[in-house]
């Protein structure tokens, strides 16, 4: 048996520069003594101090800690590299990290390499841990009971043998528990119900453990880092750590263990107190938002839809060129935002609104950027699409929206998961923002393996030098990004509403439009009489029946003024003429008002709508090409050529016509020459 190096022997072999590096690691922030023997003396003290060794060990990356855990299991804390890697605890140490691990541990004064050269060993290099450090770490690892925590209750139950599974199910659900693969999901749902969890928590004898479990659920989304006090408590009393872990797992509440997600690009690798994700989800979804936290309700309705349509109409009637910076000229922005209702509803600057409209239109492939901003075929038919189809297209775009400057690695997965949970919420019921964020993050963590995130992250790291690629990899950054996305990309679409209290967003709910978009409301509400038209041209829209479809029509021929419990619109001469110009007949406007009005339509309003609409005259201006011949016969020959015939817009005389564009002059001249017609 080979024996490990004593601290004094280990330090005697080190150069002064190595001793100084060791000292900086073991005594961060302190200045090293001048003499080598003084440095060595201080290091011997550190190697013999359990608290110091524990602190320095905890600061190491997970892969280095795993290496040391494997080494302390060897006799004398000495072993060849192959044996250490074979004994690695928990996750396998990646091959590409080994060289870095050995170098870091040697630099920090943990290990030294020793080459034994007898024939039986073939000159194999062995690695030895400082003996005093090894003694302390062996006790730490014995009490630590290293295990990698499982976040999902369903995954935890999959690890049970059939007999153990049935024993637990009979204990908590009775003899008639759900069976089979499908039955496991049903059993998980029953076990995660708040009442069932409260009942199982009462079985936990330790009061402090019950308190920690409740805090983990209410304040930390189920994944709680252990405080310094709790960590010290578990270190001083190893039996308590085992008892807590057993109590949590035996009552199917959670566990205590290492959560290491670094290989997936998430910055967490430490011991955590974890409550199963399904338990946390049911607790969050069952929480009621107090009425005193709902002072005002804010919703965007169809404001963004209206402004997007106005933006596309502007592009139909005007050539729009972008500035060198890629933004719109102020003149175009002023025209689009002149009657904007979206700008009155959200705290965006004019440039931000124009950029958002442009990015949305490009994302939906409604426009394309060349020398000018041009409408696509899809952009030309957008305003004629059904409202629900528009809403679903916008929600799908928001789900896959990328951060400015490039794709964020984790958000590409987190946002679709958040939208999936959003679609499953009950319409009209208030939830805390934290609820959706917690559900999305916990679901993502439980799906990391299913999504293949570790492999994708491995490929992603090699591409991170490319411009535009970003990585937000901490839990609090996930929370911040999801809230930003909910506030700035989902809320503007009118599918959710916010509750405010003291100018702070306290809760959200799925709106009636969101219920239809997410298909939680499969049948479309019946049309109802939901408006009152006043003699002063004000229209009051009440939130009853299928009022979103009516609201879309009102946005076409009236101007939205404000919204409280009801939405206020006003008919103006300009709004009627705009509606008639773009898509509505005057009679159609009156028919909509009469059909949905709770009271008879005021005669003055009816007369003015008819007068304003019928007084509209439209002039058309477009760029075309004039085709003209010297004689009627020459013109007849030219216009009968297929390449010219399909381009004719209108014949303006027996010798001239307007065509859409200039045809291929060389080919046309070649066809006309045998007919005796020469083309200029």
Instruction: Enter the pTM of the model.
Output: 0.71
* Contact criterion met (CB below 8 Å) for 582 and 556: yes
Length of the chain: 680
pLDDT of residue 469: 52
Around Cβ 440, how many Cβ atoms within 10 Å? 26
SS3 373: strand
pLDDT at 229: 82
Write down the H helix ranges in 289-427.
303-317, 330-337, 342-345, 350-363, 377-381, 387-399, 411-423
Which pair of structure tokens corresponds to residue 491?
């809320």
- For 369-420, the pLDDT digits (tens) are 877 888 888 988 888 888 899 999 999 999 887 654 445 778 888 999 999 9
Measured CA to CA, the distance from residue 413 to residue 505 in angstroms comes to: 25
273: enclosing H helix or E strand:
strand 269-275
Cβ atoms of residues 16 and 37 within 8 Å = no
Q: Which helix (H) or strand (E) holds 567?
A: strand 567-570
Q: What is the predicted pLDDT for the residue at 525?
A: 56
Within a 10 A sphere around the Cβ of 273, how many other Cβ atoms?
Answer: 26
Question: Can you tell me which residue has the tokens 């709910």?
Answer: 509
User: Which residues make Cβ contacts (< 8 Å) with residue 402, sequence separation at least 6?
Assistant: 408, 411, 412
DSSP β-ladder status, 373-375 and 496-501:
unpaired
CA distance 384 to 434: 38
From 350, 352, 355, select the one nearest 335 (Cα to Cα). 350
**pLDDT recorded at residue 395:** 92
300-321 b/e with 16+ CB inside 10 Å = b? bbbbbbbbbbbbbbbbeeeebe
pLDDT score of 84: 82
Q: What is the mean pLDDT of each run of 10 residues along the chain (680 residues)?
A: 73 89 91 90 91 86 83 85 73 75 90 66 75 86 63 87 88 85 85 91 90 90 84 77 88 88 81 90 89 85 87 82 76 78 72 85 88 86 88 90 62 90 91 92 89 78 52 83 90 91 88 84 61 90 79 86 84 87 84 89 90 80 81 86 84 86 82 82
Rounded to whole angstroms, the Cα distance separating 381 from 227 reads: 58
Q: Give the Cβ contact number of residue 500 at 10 Å.
A: 15
Specify the pLDDT at position 280. 92
677: tokens are 């017609």
Confidence at residue 467, expressed as pLDDT on a 0 to 100 scale: 47
Residues 6+ apart with CB under 8 A from 34: none
Rg (C-alpha) for the chain, rounded Å, is 36
User: How far apart (Å, rounded) are the C-alpha atoms in residues 117 and 122?
Assistant: 6
- Report the alpha-carbon distance of residue 405 to residue 49 in Å, rounded: 49
Residue 406 confidence (pLDDT): 46
- Alpha-carbon span 223 to 580, nearest angstrom: 58
Non-local (6+) Cβ contacts of 583 within 8 A are: 383, 384, 556
Return the exposure string of 441-457: e unless at least 16 CB atoms fall within 10 Å of the residue's CB, then b: bbbbbbebeeeebeeeb
Structure tokens at 84: 């250490």
* Rounded-to-integer distance, Cα 95 and Cα 93, Å: 6
Helix 303-317 / helix 387-399 crossing angle, nearest 10 deg: 100
What is residue 420's three-state secondary structure?
helix
C-alpha to C-alpha distance for 680 and 668, rounded to whole angstroms = 11
Provide the token pair at 610.
């008819």
Count of H helices and E strands in the chain? 35, 18
Give the model confidence (pLDDT) of 139-177 as tens digits: 777 655 456 677 889 888 888 888 888 899 999 988 888
What does the alpha-carbon distance between residue 177 and residue 461 come to, in Å, rounded to a whole number? 46
pLDDT, one tens digit per residue, over 629-677 is 888 888 888 888 888 888 888 888 888 888 888 888 888 888 888 888 8
* Whole-number pLDDT of residue 122: 53
User: Cβ distance 5 to 128 under 8 Å?
Assistant: yes
Phi, psi of 117 (to 5 degrees): -120, 25
Q: Give which of 507, 514, 512 is closest to 437, Cα–Cα.
A: 507
Q: What is the pLDDT of residue 464?
A: 52
Q: Label residue 179 left, alpha or beta by phi (over 0 means left) and psi (-120 to 50 means alpha).
A: beta
Mean pLDDT over the full length of the chain = 83
Give the Cα separation of 300 and 153 in Å (integer). Answer: 38
């Amino acid at each position: 048996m080979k024996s490990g190096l004593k601290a004094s022997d280990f330090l005697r072999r080190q150069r002064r520069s190595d001793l100084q590096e060791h000292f900086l690691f073991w005594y961060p922030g302190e200045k090293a003594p001048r003499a080598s023997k003084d440095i060595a003396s201080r290091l011997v003290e550190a190697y013999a101090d359990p608290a110091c060794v524990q602190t320095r060990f905890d600061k190491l990356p997970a892969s280095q800690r795993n290496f040391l855990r494997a080494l302390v299991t060897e006799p004398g804390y000495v072993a060849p590299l192959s044996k250490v890697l074979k004994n690695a605890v928990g996750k396998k140490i990646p091959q590409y990290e080994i060289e870095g691990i050995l170098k870091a541990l040697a630099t920090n004064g943990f290990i030294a390499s020793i080459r034994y050269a007898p024939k039986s060993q073939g000159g194999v290099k062995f690695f030895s841990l400082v003996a005093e450090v090894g003694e302390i770490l062996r006790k730490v690892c014995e009490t630590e009971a290293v295990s990698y925590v499982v976040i999902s209750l369903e995954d935890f139950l999959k690890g049970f043998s059939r007999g153990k599974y049935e024993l637990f199910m009979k204990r908590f659900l009775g003899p008639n528990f759900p069976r089979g693969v499908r039955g496991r999901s049903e059993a998980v749902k029953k076990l995660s119900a708040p009442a069932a969890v409260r009942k199982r928590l009462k079985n936990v004898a330790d009061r402090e453990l019950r308190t920690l479990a409740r805090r983990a659920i209410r304040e930390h989304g189920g994944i709680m880092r252990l405080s310094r006090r709790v960590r010290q408590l578990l270190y001083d009393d190893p039996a308590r750590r085992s008892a807590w872990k057993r109590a949590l797992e035996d009552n199917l509440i959670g566990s205590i263990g290492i959560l290491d997600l670094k290989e997936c690009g998430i910055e967490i690798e430490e011991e955590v107190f974890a409550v199963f994700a399904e338990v946390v989800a049911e607790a969050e979804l069952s929480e009621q938002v107090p009425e005193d936290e709902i002072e005002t309700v804010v919703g965007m309705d169809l404001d963004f839809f209206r402004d997007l349509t106005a933006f596309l109409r502007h592009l139909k009637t005007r050539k729009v060129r972008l500035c060198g910076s890629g933004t719109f000229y102020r003149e175009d922005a002023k025209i689009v935002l002149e009657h904007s209702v979206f700008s009155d509803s959200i705290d965006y600057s004019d440039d931000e609104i124009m950029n958002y409209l442009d990015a949305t239109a490009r994302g939906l492939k409604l426009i394309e950027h060349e020398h000018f901003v041009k409408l696509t075929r899809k952009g030309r038919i957008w305003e004629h699409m059904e409202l629900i189809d528009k809403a679903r297209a916008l929600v799908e775009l928001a789900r896959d929206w990328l951060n400015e400057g490039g794709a964020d690695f984790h958000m590409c997965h987190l946002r679709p998961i958040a939208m999936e949970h959003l679609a499953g919420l009950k319409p009209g019921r208030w939830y805390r923002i934290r609820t959706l964020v917690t559900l999305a993050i916990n679901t993502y963590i439980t799906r990391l393996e299913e999504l293949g995130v570790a492999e994708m992250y491995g490929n992603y790291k090699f591409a991170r030098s490319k411009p535009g690629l970003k990585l937000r990899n901490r839990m609090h950054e996930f929370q911040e990004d999801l809230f930003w996305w909910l506030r700035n990309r989902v809320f503007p679409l009118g599918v959710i509403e916010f509750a405010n209290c003291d100018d702070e967003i306290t809760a959200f709910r799925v709106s009636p439009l969101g219920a239809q978009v997410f298909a939680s409301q499969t049948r479309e509400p019946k049309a109802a009489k939901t408006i009152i038209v006043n003699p002063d041209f004000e229209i009051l829209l009440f939130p009853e029946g299928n009022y979103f479809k009516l609201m879309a029509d009102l946005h076409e021929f009236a101007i939205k003024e404000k919204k409280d419990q009801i939405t206020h619109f006003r008919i103006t001469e300009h709004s009627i003429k705009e509606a008639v110009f773009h898509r509505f007949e005057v009679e159609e406007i009156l028919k909509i008002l009469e059909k949905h009005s709770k009271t008879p339509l005021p005669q003055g309003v009816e007369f003015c709508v008819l007068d304003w609409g019928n007084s509209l005259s439209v002039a058309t201006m477009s760029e075309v090409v004039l085709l003209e011949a010297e004689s009627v016969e020459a013109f007849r020959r030219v216009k009968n050529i297929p390449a010219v015939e399909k381009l004719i817009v209108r014949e303006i005389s027996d010798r001239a016509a307007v065509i859409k564009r200039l045809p291929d002059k060389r080919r046309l001249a070649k066809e006309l020459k045998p007919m005796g017609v020469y083309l200029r």
